[in-house]
Amino acid sequence: MIPLVIYVLIFVAAFIVVRILASRLSARHDFTSLKTVTFGDESAVRPDRWASVISLLTIFLLWGAFTGSKLVPVHVPGPFVGDTEFTYTLQAPDGSTDDATIFVRVFPIGEDVEQRATEPGPGFAKNDSITVGAWRSQLILFDKNDEITRKDGAQVIAIDGIPVTSGGAVQTTAGRVVVTPKGSLNYEPPKGMQMEPIWLPPPEAVASRVLEIAREGYQNFTLWEHLGWSLYRVVVGFMLGALVGIPLGYAMGLSNWFRGWFDPIVEFMRPVPPLALIPLVIIWAGIGESGKIILLFLAALWIMAIAARSGVSGVRISKVHAAYSLGASKWQVLRHVIIPNSLPEIFTGARVAMGVCWGTVVAAELVAAEKGAGMMIMVAAKFQLTDIVIMGIILIGIIGYGIDILFRIAERWLVPWKGKG
């Protein structure tokens, strides 16, 4: 909740600041700048690059601030680390009471720690010393060394002077103390607002993990092999899907018989998410490469077939008529009119299919694989290696984005007439 509020505040503040700076810097303050109506004109909306940069920085900043990153100058309060103490008041069965102090040392997880030295102190309740890891809690068997114990009927009636009963809790300056139903104490030091690395590691931990895995590999394969295998599966599956799907789509767009024959199959298979096919493909082809490639082939096939079909059906009849009346044969119409006319649709389909394939391969690897990007994060999740999981997600995202950009560049280069017919 708090990160969301901060995020919204940064959004608003950045908007106002950039607006003010932009209007200061821009030279035009005359009426011409007001005349151009752009509001409501969708084509006049361009992404503000400053907003993009600040947006990414904000995410990074929030991530760092809430994980105690060394890369970020400001942090939200972290978990309490250091020494503190609180007292408990023990009441003996005869009604007499005695106070004792529990000396606490909270240490960062993963570091060695020594207990604080304590004097037992006077009275029947004796002082204790405990160590607690940051973000953890600790059950305190406080009466181990007391002269009158819970077995004798003694019970804690107050923490730091605040009355408490069995099952109740007290928030002290040292942290939260719960009296369990059995009468023992459970102590939680203040957690602050930062995320524990096991939930969300700081950015530098993820970065160093990337370097480490790039150098040493993970689960018997290098990082590049993991990513390369995922990409290889996508490329091969997509290619096979396109190789079969495009001619199939053309046939469906050009022949009644093919249309009738394949329409029910294509229309039925199209809404089936490829993920739903994973169990069947595993039964049929196992968890090896062939299973993955069959799955991706199926994921790409229907998309490419439908794209090719609509590319063919979308040809303006006047173009076909023009070609015929210029003396072109059927074959020449197909080669010089129908196929080039369908290319923009096929490119759009290919972009969609690549995206779906990339998602599907990661999901398939999550289910079962011995290498691959999805397998890497699945295994890491089992060992609670959150930094590897986050690294994997970021790399999967970058590769997916990269594939899409490559397709867009190829599209601009190969079908420059797209959307201009």
Partner 1 sequence: MTGLSIENISMRFDLPNGGAVQALKDVSLHLKPGELLSVLGPSGCGKTTLLNILAGFLAPTAGQIMLNGHRVTGPDAERGMVFQQGALFEWMNVRDNVSFGPRMKGVSAADYMPNVEHLLDVVGLKDFKDKAIYELSGGMQQRVALARCLANDPDVILMDEPLGALDALTREKMQGLVLKLWKETGKTIILITHSVEEALLLGERLLVMAPRPGRIHKEYRLPFADMGVGQDLRMVKKHPEFAEKREEILSMIWDMEEEIMGRAEAGAGA
Site of interaction with partner 1 (CB under 8 A): 316, 318-319, 321-329, 332, 336-337, 340-341, 343, 415-417, 420-421
Listing DSSP states for 14-79 in one string gives HHHHHHHHHHHH----SSHHHH---TT-GGG----HHHHHHHHHHHHHHHHHTTT-TTSS------
Strands 138-140 and 185-188: antiparallel
Quick one: 77 or 416, whose CB is closer to partner 1? 416
Which residue, 109 or 414, has its beta carbon nearer to partner 1? 414
Q: What is the DSSP string of 312-338?
A: HHTS-HHHHHHHHHTT--HHHHIIIII
**Phi, psi for residue 33 in degrees, rounded to 5:** -70, -20
Q: Smallest gap, in angstroms, from Cβ of residue 200 to partner 1?
A: 49
d(C-alpha 341, C-alpha 322), whole Å = 14
**In terms of CB distance, is 31 or 331 closer to partner 1?**
331
In the complex, minimum distance from the CB of residue 336 to partner 1, in angstroms, rounded to a whole number: 7
Burial of 405 (0-12, 13-18, 19+ CB in 10 A): exposed
* Cβ at position 254, least distance to partner 1 in Å: 17
- Pick between residue 235 and residue 320 the one whose CB is nearest to partner 1: 320
Q: Measured from the CB atom, is 176 or 319 closer to partner 1?
A: 319
CB of 48 to partner 1, least distance (A): 29
Q: Smallest distance from the beta carbon of 317 to partner 1, in angstroms?
A: 9
For partner 1, give the closer residue by CB, 315 or 376.
315
Closest contact distance (angstroms) between CB of 416 and partner 1 is 7
The residue among 404 and 411 lying less far from partner 1, judged by its C-beta, is 411
Q: How far apart are CA 395 and CA 382, in angstroms?
A: 19
DSSP character string of 232-275: HHHHHHHHHHHHHHHHHHHHHHH-HHHHHHHHHHHHHHTTS-GG
Measured CA distances, 7 to 11, 72, 204, 227 (Å) = 6, 16, 21, 32
